[in-house]
């Protein structure tokens, strides 16, 4: 419905000469509006007649009317173009997940329900979220990877983690395929991995810092050795010079 409304408004704001949206719109004395360049070109071709006409109603004007920009129409055209850009952003493009219930052009899905395995567009996820029957359902931001959180065998959430097999499972898989295995909530295992990752990063950072400090100490020692060697060489040259020419 919104798309149809935009199309109607766009038709009203189109130039009947170029059939495109009005550019620098002007309204001539008969009330019809055109792009400045379109009507100017049309009247330039009529200059030899000494009269100028409206391309739509054929009303003639003498002398040639001055063209003044219709600022109201210009603002309406700009507003329509902005609305079209916003609408296009909501529509699904190649690779986007869509909400199949949408009629006409498909809207881009913005939320996904983990319980129903359905993705919703912005216009339809609010009723789902506000319905008492779906209050406890989990709605997540659409990322295009909904199926990655679902068991391919049972269609259930992968809420558990099997420590024995090192993989995420659903409740049914845990009961039938991972019996007597060490199980934990996937969220807890993830938190544990994140903590271990942070700890590992800190250890690596400390080792790098220690290595950098060792390099600084080594460089300082090398500088000291080079300084002592240069000093000893200079003293030897002075002694040699003193004995040779003294």
Give 77's contacts (C-beta < 8 A, 6+ positions apart): 13, 21, 22, 23, 25
pLDDT recorded at residue 92: 43
Q: Please name each of the domains of the chain with its CATH number.
A: 2-90 (3.30.40.10), 93-149 (3.30.160)
Q: Say if strands 167-169 and 183-185 run parallel, antiparallel, or are unpaired.
A: unpaired
Q: Which helix (DSSP H) or strand (DSSP E) does residue 240 occupy?
A: helix 186-245
DSSP letter at 67 equals: P
Q: How far apart are the first and last CA of the chain?
A: 110
DSSP 34-101: EEHHHHHHHHHTTGGGT-EE-TTT--EESSPPPP-B-HHHHHHHHHHHHHHHHHHHHB--TT--B-TT
Tokens of 21: 């949206």
Nearest to 43 by CA among 18, 22, 63: 63
pLDDT recorded at residue 227: 84
**φ, ψ (nearest 5 deg) of residue 243:** -75, -30
pLDDT recorded at residue 97: 39
What digits encode the pLDDT tens for the residues 146-179? Answer: 445 778 787 777 888 888 888 888 888 888 888 7
Tokens of 23: 């550019």
Q: What residue has token string 């810092």?
A: 209
pLDDT recorded at residue 133: 54
Nearest to 17 by CA among 5, 33, 1: 33
> Angle 2-12/71-90 helices, nearest 10 degrees?
150
Question: pTM (2 decimals)?
Answer: 0.36
Nearest to 156 by CA among 196, 117, 111, 204: 117
pLDDT recorded at residue 105: 52
Q: What is the mean pLDDT of the chain?
A: 75
Tokens of 145: 């990877």
pLDDT recorded at residue 137: 57
- Tens digit of each residue's pLDDT, the chain (246 residues): 444 444 446 777 889 999 988 999 999 999 999 999 999 999 999 988 889 999 999 999 989 999 999 988 888 888 877 766 554 444 444 444 344 444 455 555 556 555 444 556 555 555 555 556 555 555 555 555 444 577 878 777 788 888 888 888 888 888 888 878 888 888 787 788 778 777 877 888 888 888 888 888 888 888 888 888 888 888 888 877 777 665
- 177 Cα distance to chain centroid: 40
pLDDT recorded at residue 13: 85
């Amino acid at each position: 419905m919104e798309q149809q409304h935009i199309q109607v408004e766009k038709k009203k704001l189109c130039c009947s000469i170029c059939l495109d949206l009005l550019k620098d719109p002007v309204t001539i004395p008969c009330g019809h509006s055109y792009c400045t360049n379109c009507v100017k070109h049309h009247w330039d071709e009529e200059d030899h007649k000494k009269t100028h006409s409206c391309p739509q109603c054929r009303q003639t004007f003498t002398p040639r009317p001055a063209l003044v920009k219709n600022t109201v129409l210009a603002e309406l055209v700009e507003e329509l173009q902005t609305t079209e850009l916003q609408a296009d952003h909501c529509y699904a493009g190649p690779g986007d997940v869509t909400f199949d219930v949408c009629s006409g052009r498909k809207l881009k899905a913005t939320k996904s329900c983990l319980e129903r395995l359905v993705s919703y567009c912005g216009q339809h996820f609010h009723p789902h979220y506000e319905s008492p029957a779906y209050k406890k359902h989990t709605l997540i931001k659409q990322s295009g990877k909904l199926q990655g959180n679902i068991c391919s065998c049972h269609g259930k959430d992968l809420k558990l983690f099997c420590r024995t097999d090192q993989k995420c499972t659903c409740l049914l898989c845990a009961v039938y395929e991972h019996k007597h295995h060490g199980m934990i909530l996937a969220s807890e295992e993830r938190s544990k991995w994140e903590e271990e990752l942070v700890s590992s990063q800190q250890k690596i950072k400390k080792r790098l810092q220690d290595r950098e400090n060792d390099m600084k100490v080594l460089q300082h020692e090398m500088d000291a050795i080079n300084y002592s060697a240069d000093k000893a060489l200079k003293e030897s040259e002075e002694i040699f010079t003193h004995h040779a020419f003294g």
